């Protein structure tokens, strides 16, 4: 699989497709250890060598599971990113309940925000312990949109300090808000950002703020949420399609169906076009895809290698479905 280096950290190369780790933390439903193992094995066989996880995913379950599986593979072949900003604190008083943040796991810990220098360093130490890995390659500040001043003034500098000490290889931030990521890119010494859902076939908002800033400051962009939580993951979105984790509004569904019709006319699927579109931007270094099971891993790799005709992009522009200035393959 094709790899792309981070512009300022060329020794850190990300495969075109990365494995999102939320599903390994039981996002939405419980998954067995065997299912997670099969998924990782399928992704590895398909050439995926970038894995993204976070303490938030399943209250540490994703880090534990993925760390154990990655320890069985050559460490130098895989790039691992995890996140900081929320510490996991034991919560025995809620251990008999289920987590309320979308993960089917016991609520035996609680997430506590801590963007201080000490909190950032402790978060990395905890992640190293949970994964059992010798290092974290990329550390990303996770969803700091409600704490942006402290993020820029304290949390990101703490990450930079860890990078300079050699504890991590690259640093950045990940969230759903492209304008906040653009601020971090402009005001901080980061190497990479993960932008979820704001640069897709349906949502081009990052084109106006984050993408120009990333190119100017030589910061790599990892795209997450490329299917906008489901509507772009199927060939023909139905009335129950989800967009950003809720039922798609009528106008969004209409646009997705119009894009899907043009895709069919050109002999490609909507998910294939979704992956090809984001990968064409010169700031993008990888696309992280959630993988529920082994078939998702194989599908992602196959879709990413599909041949999408150039005429499709012009037809989408002519139909008013793509901005004129959006880079395409």
Of 52, 62, 63, the residue nearest 27 (C-alpha): 62
Residue 42's pLDDT is 98
Q: Per DSSP, what are the bridge partners of residue 89?
A: 110
Q: What is the pLDDT of residue 180?
A: 98
pLDDT value at residue 198? 97
At 71 the pLDDT is: 97
The verdict on whether 57 is a catalytic residue reads: yes
Q: Which helix (H) or strand (E) holds 167?
A: none
Question: Can you tell me the distance from the alpha carbon of 31 to that of 23, in angstroms, rounded to the nearest whole number?
Answer: 8
Residue ranges in the chain modelled with pLDDT below 50: none
Residue 170's pLDDT is: 98
pLDDT of residue 221: 98
Q: Which of 140, 284, 138, 283 is nearest to 216 (CA)?
A: 283
Among residues 57, 199, 227, 245, which one is catalytic? Answer: 57
SS3 label, residue 152: helix
Name the DSSP class of 98: B
Supply the DSSP symbol for 154. I
Domains of the chain: 3-248+271-308 (3.20.20.100)
State how far the Cα of 118 lies from the Cα of 216, in Å rounded to an integer: 31
């Amino acid at each position: 699989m094709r790899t792309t280096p981070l512009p300022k950290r060329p020794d850190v190369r990300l495969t075109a497709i990365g494995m999102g780790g939320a599903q390994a933390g039981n996002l939405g439903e419980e998954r067995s250890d065997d299912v997670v193992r099969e998924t990782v094995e399928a992704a590895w066989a398909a050439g995926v060598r970038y894995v993204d996880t976070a303490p938030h995913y399943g209250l540490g379950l994703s880090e534990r599971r993925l760390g154990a599986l990655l320890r069985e593979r050559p460490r130098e072949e895989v790039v691992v990113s995890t996140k900081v900003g929320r510490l996991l604190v034991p919560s025995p008083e809620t251990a008999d309940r289920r987590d309320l943040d979308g993960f089917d796991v016991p609520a035996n810990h609680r997430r506590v925000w801590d963007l201080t220098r000490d909190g950032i360093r402790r978060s990395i130490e905890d992640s190293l312990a949970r994964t059992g890995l010798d290092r974290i390659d990329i550390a990303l500040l996770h969803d700091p949109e409600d704490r942006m001043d402290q993020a820029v003034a304290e949390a990101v500098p703490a990450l930079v300090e860890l990078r300079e000490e050699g504890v991590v290889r690259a640093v950045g931030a990940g969230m759903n808000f492209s304008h906040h990521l653009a601020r971090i890119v402009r005001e901080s010494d980061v190497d990479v950002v993960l932008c979820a859902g704001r640069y897709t076939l349906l949502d081009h908002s990052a084109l106006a703020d984050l993408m120009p800033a990333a190119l100017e400051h030589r910061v790599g962009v990892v795209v997450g949420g490329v299917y906008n939580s489901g509507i772009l993951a199927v060939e023909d979105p139905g009335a129950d399609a989800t967009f950003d984790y809720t039922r798609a509004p009528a106008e969004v569904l209409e646009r997705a169906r119009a894009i899907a019709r043009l895709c069919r006319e050109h002999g490609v699927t909507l998910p294939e076009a979704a992956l090809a579109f984001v990968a064409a931007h010169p700031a993008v270094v990888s696309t992280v895809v959630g993988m529920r099971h082994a078939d998702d891993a194989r599908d992602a790799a196959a879709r990413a290698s599909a041949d999408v005709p150039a005429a499709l992009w012009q037809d989408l522009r002519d139909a008013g479905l793509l901005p004129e200035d959006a880079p395409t393959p």
